[in-house]
Amino acid sequence: MQKLLERKQIEDDLRSEFEGTIKDRVSRYLEVGHQWIIGAHHFARTSTECLLLYRDGYFVGTVMMSHAINEAIIKFVVEKNSLSAKPLDDLIEELKRGGQISADCAEASMGIYGSFRNDVHHMNPTVSSIDFRSLALKNIQRLAIIESEIFAVDIVDGGKRRPRNPAYWDVGKDGYTSAYLRIRF
């Protein structure tokens, strides 16, 4: 009986918290402008979770995950273009010079890369002076720029997806791709 009462109290507390934060969550959701579909790659679920963290107000987690996702996507693009491993900033510059990513995409990626990555990941004392809400918004918007370019799709022929960059989609022999949909989260 005691456990049932505890469960009911926890449910009531969670419901109250949710109702009290719903307007802020909706506002943060609308701020992002995320890519609604991306390739079903190893980082897709994590990227979606990062969006959820931002929506729900977990800004430190958003910043940390944006660093990892940015690096994963750049390394993915490097691999798909058969480039050799280098420090991330050199890879971003090489991709930009080679035309594999645009200047805007490179700027967004470098913005994430340069956003206190080591300080945040190692929880250096300097993190106490970081405005994580603002940084989380910037990084999640930068991530949206990157994903919107890499995973851009056009809708053709009554609803079929046509990737603008097919090299970044795993297209099967049947012409179909696996995708991760994020229409709503």
Average pLDDT rounded to a whole number, residues 153-164: 84
- pLDDT value of residue 137: 96
In a domain, 69, yes or no: yes
In a domain, 135, yes or no: yes
Question: What predicted TM-score, i.e. pTM, was given to this entire model?
Answer: 0.89
In a domain, 184, yes or no: no
Q: Residue 103: pLDDT above 90?
A: yes
Rounded distance between C-alpha atoms, residue 85 and residue 78, angstroms: 8
- The domain total for the chain is 1
CA distances to 20, 44, 171 from 39, rounded to whole Å, are 35, 7, 10
In a domain, 83, yes or no: yes
Q: Residue 47: pLDDT above 80?
A: yes
Q: Residue 185: pLDDT above 60?
A: no
Average pLDDT rounded to a whole number, residues 136-140: 97
Extract the tokens encoding 126: 């300097």
pLDDT band at 77 (very low <50, low <70, confident <90, very high): very high
Residues 6+ apart with CB under 8 A from 154: 161, 162, 164
Residues 6+ apart with CB under 8 A from 185: 29, 48, 51, 52, 55
